[in-house]
Amino acid sequence: MQAHTLSAQASLVTPSRKRFFIMVLLFITVVINYLDRSNLSIAAPALTTDLGIDPIHVGLIFSAFGWTYAAMQIPGGWLVDRVPPRILYSVALLLWSAATVMLGFAASFIALFVLRMAVGALEAPAYPINSRVVTTWFPERERATAIGFYTSGQFVGLAFLTPVLAWLQHAFGWHMVFVATGAVGILWAVIWYAVYREPRDFKGANAAEIELIREGGGLVDIQADTAKAKFSWSDLGIVLTQRKLWGIYLGQFCLNSTLWFFLTWFPTYLVKYRGMDFIKSGLLASLPFLAAFIGVLCSGFFSDWLIRRGATVGFARKLPIIGGLLISTSIIGANFVESTPLVIAFLALAFFGNGLASITWSLVSTLAPARLLGLTGGVFNLIGNLAAIATPIVIGFLASGDSFAPAITYIAVLALMGALSYILLVGKVERIEL
């Protein structure tokens, strides 16, 4: 009776559009999230010279984030299923931003390694929260656009703010890169807590919008369904034994390998292996991130457009992901050119492909069992972000000589493997019913 009454009321009123405001909140949060992941790459050339750290130890510092970020994905996903996003995101933001500020005062390899591990652990719930919020606030036909829009924050923030951080380091030293980005995160934690609410509690979200979300497959009452659930090893077994889930898990590892090259070794590659000065490299480094930003926006809009044109969810979601991963293999072209514009062109094309493929979270929200969204997202992010551990370390060893070409080849091969994972393992896209 209550659902019938809500539907009757909603049919008489134009749906509000507060869900798009939520999309903007997620976008800003992702910008901050990725600045705190990548600020070390901006500071690394000066920092490592200042502290006398060799390439292998640089790779270990770059990987420190990934160790704890991956390890905390399942606990983080478990928390997402139990703690409201308003509270969990605010606490996580506050704590990882404080650890980021402290990085500005680190004076040794050990201090840098430990603090980056802290940032990784505290950021672990972030993307499962994003997935949880989008699944709550958006119908299926708008979900890829929402995911694409907020995911673009990880690229647009770096595209436009990388030169700012490079200038900040040049003017005030590498310490200020961490202090500035951490301070912004602390401020945003306060704003998120003050503003975010669930659909039924959000001021201005009318019954028509809530009904639009619910009828379109949005889980507007998900918190009520999961708040009292307890951890079960059998639930973990479910999300670890589904072939189609393993398709997206392995695909995410390969996708993230390209991403983590750009988040860690990319500026060092330009400065130390391509001989560019730091300020110039800061400007050039922004171009691939801008290309990735364009790619991820195209991906979300294109995928939802295909659904509106009658394509299946599986085709609409997998086409840009597989196509993007195949485009990312073009990074290997950087091994065969010498001119700076051509190097940047190949890297930008590869990162455009990475952006095009980055709506992978849309498949998590579509495939995951409804009551295990957080846990599925946690496992997905755990396996995917093993790349945050492997990529910096492997590249550190591959680049320990005079040539960076083996490292570029490694990234290209993994992109191809990611495309094959989606082609061969995922199969029909539909929610796993328990």
Domains annotated on the chain, with CATH? 16-216+237-424 (1.20.1250.20)
Q: What is the pLDDT of residue 142?
A: 79
Which positions of the chain have pLDDT values less than 70? 1-12, 157, 216-232, 277-285, 370-371, 374, 400-401, 430, 432-434
Q: What is the pLDDT of residue 264?
A: 78
Instruction: Give the C-alpha separation, 180 to 89, whole Å.
Output: 20
Q: What is the pLDDT of residue 410?
A: 93
Spell out a b/e string for 87-113, using b for 16 or more CB atoms within 10 Å of the CB, else e: ebbbbbbbbbbbbbbbbbebeebeebb
Reported as a single tens digit per residue, the pLDDT across 242-264 is: 788 888 899 999 999 998 888 77
Q: What is the pLDDT of residue 316?
A: 84
Nearest to 307 by CA among 232, 362, 244: 362
**Residue 150 burial (CB count, 10 A):** 26
The sign of the torsion formed by the CA atoms of 386, 390, 393, 399 equals negative
What pTM did the predictor assign? 0.70
Helix axes of 18-51 and 126-137: crossing angle, nearest 10 degrees: 170
Reported as a single tens digit per residue, the pLDDT across 134-152 is: 888 888 777 777 887 887 7
In order, the DSSP letters of 224-276 are HHHTT----HHHHHHHHS-HHHHHHHHHHHHHHHHHHIIIIIHHHIIIIIS--
Instruction: Give the C-alpha separation, 97 to 39, whole Å.
Output: 12
The sign of the torsion formed by the CA atoms of 370, 355, 257, 267 equals negative
Residues 6+ apart with CB under 8 A from 39: 100, 103, 165, 177, 178, 181
Instruction: Give the C-alpha separation, 422 to 251, whole Å.
Output: 6
User: DSSP state, 13?
Assistant: S
Distances, alpha carbon 218 to alpha carbons 73, 331, 345, 405, in Å: 24, 37, 40, 45
In order, the DSSP letters of 349-368 are HHHHHHHHT--THHHHHHHS
Spell out a b/e string for 336-356, using b for 16 or more CB atoms within 10 Å of the CB, else e: eeeeeeebbbbbbbbbbbbbb
| Helix, strand, coil percentages in the chain from 3-state DSSP, rounded to 5 | 80, 0, 20
Instruction: Give the C-alpha separation, 66 to 384, whole Å.
Output: 10
Q: Name residue, tokens 């809500």.
A: 6
Name the amino acid, one letter, at 27.
Answer: F
